[in-house]
Amino acid sequence: MRAFISIDIPDEAAGGITEFQSGMRKQLGVSFAAADKLHITMMFFPDLDSNGLASLASNFSMLKFNRFKVSLNGVGLFTPRIPRVLYIGASSEHGEMQQLYKMMHSLALDKGINFDEKRFVPHLTIGRIKGHVNRIKLLNAIKRFEGYDFGSFICSGFSIKESTFVDRSTEYKDLFTKKLD
């Protein structure tokens, strides 16, 4: 199954993001993520089997990690030359998100679980760019939001979610949830 580990964005933090999306929707040809699907992807598993899921869940359930503050700021594109993803940057004050990722990464490696090895860049995907879009218009539209503060929230846990495509849309299903200390 396609699965990923996510930090979900609480409703109170999603409000400003959806307002931003509404304003941008009028200007650009971008397919925006629904408020209830906003999340930070920590790791992606292109083909996680039930044994891998059980191993991750078992080990994550014993994990000791404190809650931490996540700040959402700035807007960017992956990749700037041929933009496909519109995102908001995410950071934690003392590097907790990176530390949590390193623990997850080590665990997956130790257990031999296949995952996407792209460099971890904490971000929140807010939109996908499909087809042709005026790159200059897009860059100009997001330029004024480069350092914009979208707020913050306390990360109180993470989930392993299954991702399936249904009727040209992506559906997520929680498979495991870990509450942080």
Quick check: is 123 catalytic?
A: yes
- Among 94, 105, 123, 132, which one carries the catalytic annotation? 123
Quick check: is 39 catalytic?
A: yes
- Among 39, 94, 105, 132, which one carries the catalytic annotation? 39
Three-class SS string for the chain? CCEEEEEECCHHHHHHHHHHHHHHHCCCCEEECCHHHCEEEEEEECCCCHHHHHHHHHHHHCCCCCCEEEEEEEEEEECCCCCCEEEEEEEECCCHHHHHHHHHHHHHHHCCCCCCCCCCCCEEEEEEECCCCCHHHHHHHHHCCCCCEEEEEEECEEEEEEEEEECCEEEEEEEEEEECC
Q: In angstroms, rounded to a whole number, what is the distance separating the alpha carbons of residues 69 and 164?
A: 30
Name the residues annotated as catalytic.
39, 123
